[in-house]
Amino acid sequence: MATAKLPEGLVPAGSSLSFTEDTVPEALQKEHALGPGHWGVLHVFAGTVCFVDLATGTETEVTAPDHAVIQPETPHHLRLAGPVQCRIDFFRKPDDDAPMRTPGSFAEAEVRQSFARCEAAGDFAETFYTTFLNASPAIAPFFAQTEFGRQRKLLRDSVYLMVTHDVSDPEMRALLDKLGNLHSRAGRNIAPKLYELWLDSICATVKELDPEWSQTLEDHWRVRLRAGMQIIMAAY
């Protein structure tokens, strides 16, 4: 298919998760645009994704195995019509002064503001642990010896850092490496399969506390926190 080519000299700026028709975030299926100086490459590995360019009104079917280049500041959305597997790789103009941006960064402001609304409405960590400890009988035994006053504060601070900092930020990275060790097989032995319950419980907390909750906002929370979560899980 004919789309624009990526300009030379761009640097990689991360990738989305690999999506299926069930997990493509709703935000990508509504009008949105990449920021100035930011490009994307939509890779379609299975099925067909329709790329709708709202600036020109052009609709381009991208059928596997193929890709389409997404230009900066072009309003667009994706449309699905069946099973797909796809991923978006991000690129940006090199800018030595700017910290490395990651895919979760597109939702930074929305998620940060949502977190602030949650904290205004109640105790984020307390609501989270009530949900998380009830999410599965497998969870509570890990916290049998836990001093929850301290634990709630540490959890709140780690979520705050994940919301406000990209995973490439040195402070963030140091925390993720520390948490990776603590949760690893040699530490608390937290099996990777338990992490979806963690993320679901965070999202349930947001839904309970944020009066402006929406499914799109939840998708933003998931993309933003998953990047850090995967680094902790990878240390297992």
The site for ligand HEM (CB under 6 A) is made up of 139, 142-143, 145-146, 151, 154-155, 158, 179, 182-183, 188, 190, 194-195, 198, 229, 232
The minimum distance between CB 176 and ligand HEM, in angstroms, equals 8
How far, in Å, CA of 230 to CA of 195, rounded?
9
Give the SS3 label for residue 83: coil
The minimum distance between CB 228 and ligand HEM, in angstroms, equals 6
How far, in Å, CA of 182 to CA of 141, rounded?
16
For 58-96, letters b (16+ CB in 10 Å) and e give: eebebeeebbbebbbebebbbebeeebbbbbbbbbeeee
State the first-to-last Cα distance of the chain, in angstroms, to the nearest integer. Answer: 41
The smaller minimum CB distance to ligand HEM, of residues 183 and 220, is found at: 183
The minimum distance between CB 84 and ligand HEM, in angstroms, equals 27
The smaller minimum CB distance to ligand HEM, of residues 70 and 203, is found at: 203
The smaller minimum CB distance to ligand HEM, of residues 2 and 144, is found at: 144
Helix-then-strand count for the chain, H and E: 6, 8
The smaller minimum CB distance to ligand HEM, of residues 94 and 187, is found at: 187
The minimum distance between CB 109 and ligand HEM, in angstroms, equals 21
Give the SS3 label for residue 225: helix
The smaller minimum CB distance to ligand HEM, of residues 44 and 190, is found at: 190
The minimum distance between CB 204 and ligand HEM, in angstroms, equals 14
Cβ-proximal residue to ligand HEM, closest one: 146
